Amino acid sequence: MSQATETSPASRATGITRRTAVTAAATTAALLPLGLPAAHAADPGPAFLHGVASGDPLPDGVLLWTRVTPSPDAVPGSGRGAAVEVSWEVSESRDFAAPTARGSARATADGDHTVKADVRGLRPATAYYYRFAVGDVRSPVGRTRTAPAADASDGNVRFGVVSCANWEAGYFSAYRHLAARRDLDAVLHLGDYLYEYGTGTYPEGKGVVRQHSPRHEIVTLADYRARHGHYRTDADLRAVHAAHPVIAIWDDHEFANDAWSGGAENHTPGAEGEWARRVAVAKQAYFEWMPVRPSTEGTTYRRLRFGSLADLHLLDLRSFRSEQAKAGSGAVDDPERTITGRAQLDWLKSGLAASNARWKLVGTSVMISPFAFGSLPAHLLKPLVELLGLPTEGIAPSVDQWDGYTDDRRELLAHLRERGIDNTVFLTGDIHMAWANDVPTRAATYPLSPSAATEFVVTSVTSDNIDDLLNVAPHTVSLAAVAAIKAANRHVKWLDMDSHGYGVLDVTEQRTQMDYFTISDRTDPNATASWARSYRTRSGTQRVERADQPVR
| HEC assignment per residue over 455-468 | EEECCCCCCCCHHH
CATH superfamily of 157-547: Alkaline phosphatase D (PhoD) (3.60.21.70)
User: Cα 36 from chain centroid?
Assistant: 27
User: Cα 527 from chain centroid?
Assistant: 22
Residue 7's pLDDT is: 37
d(CA 271, CA 383) in angstroms, rounded, equals 45
Looking at the DSSP assignment, which residues form a beta bridge with residue 438? 454
Neighbours of 486 (CB within 10 A): 14
Residue 28's pLDDT is: 30
How is 77-129 classified by DSSP, letter by letter?
TS--S--EEEEEEEESSTT-SS-SEEEEEEE-GGGTTEEEEEE-SPPTT-EEE
d(CA 367, CA 489) in angstroms, rounded, equals 14
In the three-class reduction of DSSP (H, G, I as helix; E, B as strand; rest coil), residue 63 is classed as strand
Same fold yes or no, 1-147 and 157-547: no
Q: How far apart are the first and last CA of the chain?
A: 43
Residue 52's pLDDT is: 98
Q: List, edge to edge, every strand of the sheet that includes 246-248.
A: 114-119, 61-67, 52-58, 246-248, 186-189, 157-162, 501-507, 511-519, 529-538, 545-547
pTM: 0.90
Structural Rg of the chain based on CA atoms: 23
d(CA 181, CA 515) in angstroms, rounded, equals 14
Domain 1-147 has CATH 1.25.40.10: no
| Residue pair 227/196 in contact by the 8 Å Cβ criterion | yes
| Residue pair 459/501 in contact by the 8 Å Cβ criterion | yes
Residue segments in the chain with a per-residue pLDDT below the cut of 50: 1-41, 375-388
| Residue pair 358/509 in contact by the 8 Å Cβ criterion | yes
**CA angle, 212 then 218 then 221, to 5°:** 120
d(CA 132, CA 140) in angstroms, rounded, equals 8
| Residue pair 209/169 in contact by the 8 Å Cβ criterion | yes
Q: State whether the Cα torsion 507-305-244-173 is positive or negative.
A: negative
| Residue pair 353/360 in contact by the 8 Å Cβ criterion | no
Residue 397's pLDDT is: 82
d(CA 378, CA 355) in angstroms, rounded, equals 36
Residue 11's pLDDT is: 32
Q: List, edge to edge, every strand of the sheet that includes 302-306.
A: 302-306, 310-314, 359-364, 424-428, 451-457, 434-440, 492-496
Residue 43's pLDDT is: 61
Residue 391's pLDDT is: 64
Every domain of the chain and the residues it spans: 1-147, 157-547
Q: 377: part of which helix (H) or strand (E)?
A: helix 375-380
Is cis: bond before 214, omega within 30 of 0?
yes
